[in-house]
Amino acid sequence: MFNDHSMLRYLTAGESHGEAIIGVLEGAPAQLPLTSDDINEHLARRWLGYGRGGRSKIENDKVHIYSGVRFGETLGSPISFRIDNGAYEKDKAGWPEKMAIEGDPPEDMETVTMPRPGHADLAGKQKYEHDDMRPVIDRSSARETAMRVACCSVARRLLNEFGIEVGSHVVRIGDVGFDAPEEWADRRNALIEKGSDGASALYETADQSATRMIDDEMTERCVEHIDQTKKDRDSLGGVYEVVVTGVPPGLGSYVHWDRRLDGQLVQAICSIQAQKAAEVGDGFRNAHRPGSQVHDPIEPREDGAQAYPRRTNHAGGTEGGTTTGMPLVVRGYMKPIPTLIKPLDSVDTATGEPEPTRYERSDITSVPAASTVAEATVAYTVANAFLRKYGGDSVPAIRRHIEADGHGSE
């Protein structure tokens, strides 16, 4: 995932039931403290959430770093990673044979010819001309997000080094949740303004909830809703919010379309499987309101402060595609999980005949997990904008650039 303005770039490779997923991150500055634990913490958080399926019991994601780090610090060279797929051997489904890199398929191997609505199955089969949809299922799977979280955790570690924190919480799962930002904004703001942890305090609190919500009563209602949905053999989507604190003004730009940070943030969310909409600030709600209730009044700044405070933050921390110094707020909208226990109508592409879908192990909802992946992709996006403004080959060089910028001056 990179564009013409990326300072950091990463690639992922790997199939969901292959041996492992691989990633390479290029562009991380030297002398950034980095350990496997910095990454493993967020890999574990990706498994959070009530309503997860059987795979959560098989996987124990731990990253193996192969290069780019020495004695706990980055070297400035590409950082390469591997995360093993527990399902490859633990599943007892014969994946080593079915996903073999060389040789012929096992004689008794069933090919997948029935596309599941809502998955990449049919589109991928038609695009790559596979008779067997297994390769489509395996690469379009959100298993890939484990490696994204790994690569993007380095970006998050870099932001943390400069006091920029990223967090998230879930605001809705299916029918149960908050409707309007003002219903949760005070509680969220109290968390991110408390102490020096900024938005990290938000994720730490949300992680305590079975549904990653910052409201106990809502968590309970959501758990019941998920239980009922499972009984109904159905699935759920939802809404979550990612917040970034400590962001200096001036990241991103209005001067060219692809340098607008608001546009990049929406892409960061919608690049994740099953995320079908995103809004910056109160984007959707603002469209229904008069301007006097939307645009955030500017207040005088204190001596030495970098940003002018705003009385409200309906804009979500950007104006003109550029950060204002207020927290960045981005919300993601996830569709319901497409694999249902209840069959959906489909067609067997081998025979051309109508056929109901067959159930494969799956989550009832993955909104809490998606919110942690969204933290990662947002961190990566903000880190790129940060490096574009203050970037250097090493962490000390970046510090010098920030100091030279003379915070607070016009």
Residue 403 CB-density burial (10 A; 0-12 exposed, 13-18 middle, 19+ buried): exposed
Distances (CA, A) of 19 to 55, 82, 83, 91, 96: 15, 10, 9, 12, 7
User: Is there binding between residue 53 and ligand FMN (CB under 6 A)?
Assistant: yes
List the one residue from 7, 99, 120, 173 that touches ligand FMN (CB under 6 A).
120
Q: Give 218's contacts (C-beta < 8 A, 6+ positions apart).
A: 176, 177, 178, 211
User: Is there binding between residue 140 and ligand FMN (CB under 6 A)?
Assistant: yes
Nearer to ligand FMN, 192 or 369 (CB): 369
List the one residue from 153, 339, 357, 384 that touches ligand FMN (CB under 6 A).
339
Nearer to ligand FMN, 28 or 99 (CB): 99
The stretch among 72-80, 113-121, 212-220, 236-244 that binds ligand FMN (CB under 6 A) is 113-121
The stretch among 214-222, 302-310, 336-344, 385-393 that binds ligand FMN (CB under 6 A) is 336-344
Taking the complex as a whole, the smallest distance from the CB of residue 138 to ligand FMN amounts, in Å, to: 11
User: Is there binding between residue 369 and ligand FMN (CB under 6 A)?
Assistant: yes
Q: How far apart are alpha carbons 171 and 180 in whole angstroms? A: 9
Q: How far apart are alpha carbons 249 and 229 in whole angstroms? A: 44
User: Is there binding between residue 363 and ligand FMN (CB under 6 A)?
Assistant: yes
DSSP assignment of 321-384, as one string? TEE-SSPEEEEEEEPPPS--SS--EEEETTTTEEEE----S--S--HHHHHHHHHHHHHHHHHH
Taking the complex as a whole, the smallest distance from the CB of residue 276 to ligand FMN amounts, in Å, to: 7
Nearer to ligand FMN, 247 or 272 (CB): 272
Name the residue with tokens 């994740």: 272
User: Is there binding between residue 76 and ligand FMN (CB under 6 A)?
Assistant: no
User: Is there binding between residue 273 and ligand FMN (CB under 6 A)?
Assistant: yes
Nearer to ligand FMN, 141 or 306 (CB): 141
Nearer to ligand FMN, 251 or 272 (CB): 272
Q: How far apart are alpha carbons 353 and 351 in whole angstroms? A: 5
Taking the complex as a whole, the smallest distance from the CB of residue 274 to ligand FMN amounts, in Å, to: 4
User: Is there binding between residue 1 and ligand FMN (CB under 6 A)?
Assistant: no
List the one residue from 22, 373, 376, 387 that touches ligand FMN (CB under 6 A).
373
User: Is there binding between residue 338 and ligand FMN (CB under 6 A)?
Assistant: yes
Question: Angle CA(166)–CA(9)–CA(21) in degrees, nearest 5?
Answer: 85
With beta carbons less than 8 A apart as the criterion, state whether 13 and 22 touch: yes
Q: Where are the beta strands (DSSP E) in 199-274?
A: 238-245
Taking the complex as a whole, the smallest distance from the CB of residue 197 to ligand FMN amounts, in Å, to: 25
With beta carbons less than 8 A apart as the criterion, state whether 330 and 375 touch: no
User: Is there binding between residue 366 and ligand FMN (CB under 6 A)?
Assistant: yes
What tokens does 130 get? Answer: 């596979």
List the one residue from 164, 274, 328, 330 that touches ligand FMN (CB under 6 A).
274
Other residues' Cβ atoms within 10 Å of the Cβ of residue 49: 26
The stretch among 3-11, 241-249, 268-276, 376-384 that binds ligand FMN (CB under 6 A) is 268-276
User: Is there binding between residue 165 and ligand FMN (CB under 6 A)?
Assistant: no
Residue 234 has, within 13 A of its CA and on its CB side, a CA count of 11
Map 5-16 to HEC letters. CCCCEEEEECCC
User: Is there binding between residue 271 and ligand FMN (CB under 6 A)?
Assistant: no
User: Is there binding between residue 337 and ligand FMN (CB under 6 A)?
Assistant: yes
Q: Could you give the 3-state DSSP secondary structure of residue 298?
A: strand
Report DSSP state, residue 99.
Answer: T
Nearer to ligand FMN, 189 or 362 (CB): 362
- Window 206 to 265, contacts with ligand FMN (CB under 6 A): none
How many chain residues interact with ligand FMN (CB under 6 A)?
21
Among residues 215, 210, 173, 221, the alpha carbon closest in space to that of 191 is found at 215
Name the residue with tokens 């001309």: 129
Nearer to ligand FMN, 273 or 286 (CB): 273
* Chain center to CA of 115: 26
List the one residue from 22, 142, 149, 326 that touches ligand FMN (CB under 6 A).
142
Nearer to ligand FMN, 319 or 375 (CB): 375
Taking the complex as a whole, the smallest distance from the CB of residue 310 to ligand FMN amounts, in Å, to: 32
- Residues at the contact surface with ligand FMN, assessed by CB under 6 A: 53, 118-120, 140-142, 145, 272-274, 335, 337-339, 362-363, 366, 369-370, 373
